[in-house]
Amino acid sequence: MAVVPYIPNRPFERRHYPRDPRGALARASVLEQAPAARALAGQFGHALSLLEAGLWAHAFEELSDLAGRGHASAARIALMMASRGGPLFGGHFHATRSDLTRWRQVAG
């Protein structure tokens, strides 16, 4: 198909592109996941507000839940809290070995 240069006041020419059913399904999948992504973002924001308020144990619970569901930023923070919780927060945050392994994978 030849490229038509833009000429002012020329009527719009409808271009026909081949349909990509996989692309349409991918876009539909993204739209279906949007509410779930907003929910995760809201829970992450809540966890950060708990951190800011100094409610570290509650924040760790929220972050570990998010990390288990694949939230990369939550996984990074939960890993930091589990590995360096004593010196930074004055307490220890327990995580199983399998949790730590999963969070490392999620954190990238």
33 inside domain = no
DSSP 12: P
Kindly report the backbone phi and psi dihedral angles of residue 55, in degrees, each rounded to the nearest multiple of 5, phi listed first.
-95, 70
DSSP 3: P
Range of the domain at 49: 44-107
Q: CA torsion, points 6, 7, 9, 15, in degrees to nearest 10?
A: -40
96 inside domain = yes
DSSP 90: S
1 inside domain = no
Q: CA torsion, points 58, 64, 66, 72, in degrees to nearest 10?
A: 130
Which is higher by pLDDT, 61 or 6? 61
93 inside domain = yes
24 inside domain = no
Q: Per the structure, how many domains does the chain have?
A: 1
Query: pLDDT digit string (tens) for 48-85?
Result: 999 999 999 999 999 999 999 999 999 999 999 999 98
16 inside domain = no
Q: What six digits make up the tokens of 23?
A: 């692309």
31 inside domain = no
